[in-house]
Structure 1
Amino acid sequence: MSRMLRGLRIWRAVLTFLLFLWWDSQAWTYRGGPTPERRAARQQRRARWLTAELLQLGSAFIKFGQLLSARPDILPAGWVAELASLQDSVPAFPFEQVQTVLEEELGPRCAEVIDLDPVPLGAASLAQVHRASLRSGRQVVLKIQRPGLDTLFRLDLEVMQQVAAVLQRHPSWGRGRDWPAMARECRRVLLRELDFRVEAQYAARFRQQFLDDERIRIPAVIWEQSTRRVLCLDYLPGIKVNDREALVEAGVDPSAVAEIGAASYLKQLVRFGFFHADPHPGNLAVASDGALIYYDFGMMGLLSDGLRRRLGSMVRAAAARDSAALVDEMQAAGVISKEIDVGPVRRLVRLMLNEALTPPFSSNVIDKLSGDLYDLVYGQPFRLPVELIFVMRALSTFEGVGRSLDPAFSLVGIAKPYLLPLMTSSGSGSNDLFNELGRQVGALSSRAAALPRRLDESLERLEQGDLQLQVRLGESDRQFRRMTLAQQSIGQSVLLGCLALSAAIVGASVRPLWALLPAAAAVPVGMGWFQMQVRMRRDQRLEQLPGSNR
């Protein structure tokens, strides 16, 4: 019975969420008309509702919301921004259960833990953290998993799979998306987070990267006291990174902290390719001597060598403001589908580059750039790698923290020496740059050598009457597409009206239950009409962009 009630609770939240999306897309639901300000305000309210709903649904859905915040191709930018700030904070479970878990996991080794503080330092959906000491005198913290979490996780993930299967069968929602694959990936990531031994390996690897940097501190893992449900780390106290007043009182320069944080993250990306994917202020602290402390290593990102090389090509194209080359690189990386018309996409990329990369740079250039990127990919044929979204989100977080510590903070200025290796391809030296120039010269010479042959073939086809000239008028294409969508929308509106009238007539007859048939038939028609309205409004927004008639 409890499984059924849990499933119904989840499905109610899903259906309410879909109803909100449909309601917000209707112009007549906005008093005074759907202005951009009214749409943004309503989206913010909906995003807050979704965040609160995920918190109420519990552990698995809190983590699901954090993963969903890395998919701006599914949700609008306002929803993504709200979910990105999702930090689970739930009541602590009783101290007796803490002691029970420790005894079950550590066995005889539990005797090594003394002075266990019954009041937790923090509590979250997966675990809570207690300060303790070891018999050796070592000060530690113990991250202890909530009891019974594994069973609840598996039940929630099973319902997620059912929801994904239903969404995939829908003709519009399933187009271009693989919901079951997303659910499987979510299952893999969430079940992995339940194993604290994985987080211990992440923490050890991350600490190894900064052993030679005195400005960065990562707590060491005590392996003897760590298991699948218990993680034991060194206790490293510090001041919360965004508490500027406390930093000043402690004699720490906030501007230096901002620079250390940004530099450390850029080093993670460019030099190591292994980075902290959840660097919100709750996971960052500052030691008394000004060193930056990282906490919580459950969510880490890994940039493959191939993606790092592709990012290098994208950085070079962006620095040159070559929108065509940038779009080509994005297609080669699989970020953009190769079957689409890249003209509108190239125009949007050019506008984004001109706004974000034109001096003087604003203090929140990364935040604006990531916002533009999220607006660009939503509803478009983009499939951004999750790692890239985590990179943009983390950089934006550091930028916000830096501005709170130092109003003159500029991430672009700090990033220059770290972007130079990317500018020379994969960062292995200047030879890569010469190799790239040589490749481009070779490609240019090949095209030049083939030019006479291609010209001769074209003249021959012209003489034979086989040469066809295709002229594409962008404005005519847009008008034709608008007319087609309008005709389809009118047809669906008439059909919806007929079905509604049929349901009303049958409902007033002696057999009112038969009214469910036309009402049920109206559901898929209404969904198709809703998708049509979204496409028409999206095309209208694209045409209103500056330079859309060029």
Structure 2
Amino acid sequence: MAPTAAGATRRRYRRILRFAGWNLAVTWWYELFLPRIGLVRVAERTRSKRMRRFAQRFHVLAVELGGLMIKVGQFMSSRLDVLPPEITAELEGLQDEVPPVPFAEIRALAEAELGVPLARAFAAVDETPVAAASLGQAHRARLSAADAEETGLEAVVIKVQRPGIGAIVDIDLAALRRVGRWLSHVRLVSDRVDAPELVEEFARTSLEEIDYLHEAASAERFAEDFAGDDRVTAPSVVWERTTRRVLTLQDVTAIKITDAAALRGAGIDPVEVAPVFAAVMFDQLFANGFFHADPHPGNIFVTPGEGDASTGGRPWRLTFIDFGMMGEVPTTLRTGLRKLLIAAASRDGKGLVDAMRDIGVLLPSADTAQLEQAMTQLFARFGGMGFAELREVDPREFRDFARQFGDVVRSLPFQLPENFLLIVRAMSLTSGVCSALDPGFNLWDSVEPYAGQLLRDEQGNVVQDFATEALSIAGVAWRLPKRIDAVLDRVEEGSIAVTSPRLERHVERLERTIRRLVGAVVFAGVLASGALVRSQDEVLSTVLMIGSVVPLAFAVFAGRRR
């Protein structure tokens, strides 16, 4: 590293630590020291203003430094579980847009990566960037004749990392890790969140985002998930012109999803696009388990097609780009999310909290009574409302609910896992895009049919599990009297020493009680199974419900003395 560059990275490192150190000192003074000397009201009265001032200063720092600092700001804006609303609200508008790098520097880096001059690798390259972000820059280009013939593509987009971004990412992560260690020694923070683990979570996501081979693989996996689906398409990867720092993709630029005027001009009704987009995002989350975690309007196009809606063909498709930030939903988390979705669709506040505990968001020891009450009230007041209806609600109601809900959430001992955080981000962006397409769009309209199907699937599983359990209980019921008789025989034979003359009578009573209990359990199981399958198979339901009379009779008469 050149002396000038080394000096710049040291200054950058020190500036990040100075900013963090100063704000930690201010927080210590107001949140720990003043309350100890009886000035807690001073801390409380100035807290909101201090939080906003911190967020504003960080906003300035992020824009000036670029690199990962903008990503840190965006990351912080989504941590509603950890940070107060004064910070998240100020940082949510932080855009990853920076001045473009001169094309000469982009050319030099691309040629070094590809190993050939750009003039040989491409027939033409537009020197004006399509987009310039803190980590990379994109330019339109045309493949050479040989590559075009081999790939079947001509128009492409070249995404090139900003020169020196690797060193900047390393220095930013080093500074953030040190800040994370500082925070781990501050009880006010460590009681609420594992700061070093939070930094490592952010580091993993960031390092994946600057690895273009990883992004290329994600693009292909996404395309495979929707192969044969007429709703979705994704750009093809030109692997011959792709490295870890250069990514070449098919140019699929079309109508920006929120450009209502352009959509109407192409004969596409924006209102029809919203539910399709929502359904596609739900499919990624709950069916595929692999989802686009950054579906903002700049990453989604609507591509007009040749299909005829009257014959079943789709006249347009949703085209996704930028697969640097993707999320995976493990099977266990997907099961928990299904429960969460069903609870949300049925406006079940307690069920929602139980699902959050199953997912692992809430610790088993967490007192969730207040959270259940808040969620129940939230559903009762706003559940099922669309965007247009919500705009008619008095803003003071939102503020009251936000204050109640926010305080409850931040008081609970929990931390959202990384994948769950990406899910929340994806759903938030999905809701915003759908509302932009159709102000009257109600996300519940898309959630409920999906939740209904999941609920029917769950019922099918319940019936199957119940039937298995009923058979198991029936087997126990069949074997249990014989086992008890065997025990009694051994007692009578003297194989088991009986030290109390009343033991035999107790055993007899126990036998009668167990017989009645088993009969009652089997009766309830068979009867409930019949009720559950009634809507799907009336004949089977009738047989099960009639058959439940047998264990009922067993339960009634098994308790009589012989």
TM-score, normalisation: structure 2: 0.69
Q: For residues 271-302 of structure 1, give each alpha carbon's deviation from its aligned partner in whole angstroms, at most 9, with x where no partner exists.
A: 21111101111212222444222121100111
Q: What is residue 188 of structure 1 aligned with on the other side? A: 204
SS in 2 for 1:264: helix
**Alpha-carbon distance between aligned partners in 2 of 1:185 and 1:206, rounded to the nearest angstrom:** 23
Distance 2:43 2:415 in 1: 31
Q: Which residue in the other structure is 2:63 paired with? A: 55
Matching of residues 338-357 of structure 1 within 5 Å: 338-357=364-383
Tell me if 1:164 matches 2:168: no
For 2:438, the equivalent position in structure 1 comes to 406
Per the alignment, do residues 417 and 342 of structure 1 end up closer, same or farther by CA in structure 2, a change over 3 Å counting?
Answer: closer
Aligned to 2:160: 144
- Contact 1:139–1:235 at 8 Å: present in 2 too? yes
Cα deviations by residue, 1:248-282 (Å, 9 ceiling, x for unpaired): 23332111222221121112112211111011112
1:298 aligned residue: 324
1:112-511 equivalence runs, <5 A:
112-136=121-145, 137=148, 138-289=154-305, 290-357=316-383, 359=384, 363=388, 376-424=408-456, 431-435=460-464
Once residues 438 and 21 of structure 1 are traced to their aligned partners in structure 2, the CA distance between those partners, rounded to angstroms, is 59
Is the alpha carbon distance of 1:317 and 1:99 closer, same or farther for their aligned partners in structure 2, counting shifts above 3 Å?
closer
- Paired amino acid for 2:16: I
Corresponding position: 1:79 with 2:87: yes
Distance 1:73-1:430 versus aligned 2 partners, 3 A rule: closer
The residue identity in structure 2 corresponding to 1:14 is: A
- Mapped contact 1:370–1:392 kept (Cα < 8 A): no
Shift of 1:177: 2.2
Aligned-pair CA distance for 1:5: 2.2
Q: So what's the TM-score if we normalise by structure 1?
A: 0.70
Counterparts of 2:462 and 2:65, CA distance in 1:
51
Shift of residue 132, structure 1, vs aligned partner: 0.4
Q: Name the structure 2 match of 1:509.
A: none
CA distance in 2, matches of 1:148, 1:441: 66
The answer to whether the Cα contact below 8 Å between 1:216 and 1:293 also exists between their aligned partners in 2 is yes
Given that 1:10 and 1:57 are in contact with CA atoms closer than 8 Å, whether structure 2 keeps it comes out as no
The one-letter amino acid of 1:134's match is L
Give the Cα separation in 1 of the matches to 2:51 and 2:263.
Answer: 36
Q: Which residue of 2 aligns with 1:490?
A: none
Closer, same or farther in 2 for the Cα pair 1:242/1:443, shift >3 Å?
farther
Residues 160 and 246 in structure 2, CA contact (< 8 A), matched pair in contact too: yes
Cα distance in structure 1, aligned partners of 2:131 and 2:348? 48
Distance 1:88 1:377, change over 3 A: same
Corresponding letter in the other structure for 1:189: T
Give yes or no for contact 1:315–1:423 (8 Å, CA) kept in 2.
no
Structure 1 residue runs of 5 or longer lacking an equivalent are 446-455, 457-550
**One-letter code aligned to 2:17:** W
Q: Is the 8 A contact 1:240 1:285 kept in 2?
A: yes
Greater C-alpha Rg: 2
Aligned-residue offset at 1:199: 0.4
Give the aligned residue type for 1:179: A
| Partner Cα distance (1:267, 1:391) in 2 | 13
Structure 1 contact 370–396 (Cα < 8 Å) conserved = no
- Deviation of 1:151 (Å): 1.2
Q: Is the counterpart of residue 107 in structure 1 residue 136 in structure 2? A: no
Identity of aligned residues (%): 35
Rounded to whole Å, the distance in 1 between the matches of 2:183 and 2:254 is: 46
After TM superposition, the structure 1 stretch with the greater mean CA deviation from structure 2, 397-406 or 324-333, is 324-333
Q: CA deviation at 1:88?
A: 0.8
Distance change in 2, residues 1:11/1:401 (3 Å): same
- Which structure is higher in RCO with an 8 Å CA cutoff and minimum separation 6? 1
Distance 2:159 2:336 in 1: 38
Change (3 A) 1:319 1:210: closer
* 3-state SS in 2 of match to 1:79: helix
- Secondary structure of the 1:173 match is helix
> Tell me, what secondary structure is at the counterpart of 2:190?
coil
What is the alpha-carbon root mean square deviation over aligned residues?
Answer: 3.4
2: CA distance, partners of 1:84 / 1:43: 14
* Number of the residue aligned with 1:522: none
Whole-Å Cα distance in 2 between the matches of residues 293 and 389 of structure 1? 24
**Structure 2: gaps of 5 or more residues:** 1-6, 32-39, 149-153, 306-315, 392-397, 475-505, 507-562
- Pair 1:15–1:193, CA change in 2 (3 A): same
Return closer, same or farther for 1:134/1:364 CA change in 2, 3 Å cut-off.
farther
Aligned to 1:12: 18
